[in-house]
């Protein structure tokens, strides 16, 4: 399935990352600003209850420990589903966030799918944000069902550490 149309535009490389509020798997209000001073690998995807999204979360969890960067995943999944998945899978190196309440990832970041059968969820997009909050890497998966380029994203993060 090709990558669908997004609300867009997506924050581009070299731009300051916009505000991003989310609810974590413990149902706490969080924001990207909470991670100021950290290198953040931010990944958006449709739902942790799909095969590729689950694989993506597991892969970033495994690889995140090697980088020292903060890995944050955002989806429209409810915090309960994210918490259940992370607990069952032993996800400890990735912070899972839900965009269901504020829709900042969907609308402010432009990552929401705007048409078709997946309308309303987030696309498969990866950003790397430096310690000052500037976007330094952007990848939109070529197809919604394709995994992101983990090595490229983590290499971009490592350069900033």
Active-site pick, 17, 41, 42, 53: 53
Clarify whether 86 is annotated catalytic.
Answer: no
8-to-52, 81, 106 alpha-carbon distances in Å? 23, 26, 8
- Residues whose CB falls within 8 Å of the CB of residue 145, separated by 6 or more in sequence, listed in order: 1, 52
Catalytic residues: 53
């Amino acid at each position: 399935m090709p990558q669908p149309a997004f609300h867009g535009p997506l924050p581009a490389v070299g731009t300051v990352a916009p505000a991003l509020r989310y609810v974590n798997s413990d149902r706490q209000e969080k924001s990207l600003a909470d991670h100021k001073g950290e290198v953040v690998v931010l990944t958006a995807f449709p739902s942790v209850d799909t095969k590729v999204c689950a694989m993506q979360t597991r892969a970033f969890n495994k690889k995140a420990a090697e980088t020292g960067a903060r890995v944050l995943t955002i989806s429209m999944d409810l915090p309960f589903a994210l918490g259940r998945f992370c607990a069952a899978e032993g996800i400890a190196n990735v912070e899972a966030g839900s965009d269901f309440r504020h829709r900042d990832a969907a609308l402010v970041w432009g990552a929401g799918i705007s048409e078709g059968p997946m309308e309303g969820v987030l696309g498969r997009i990866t950003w790397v944000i430096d310690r000052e909050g500037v976007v330094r890497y952007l990848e939109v998966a070529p197809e919604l069902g394709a995994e992101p380029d983990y090595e490229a994203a983590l290499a971009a993060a490592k350069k900033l550490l």
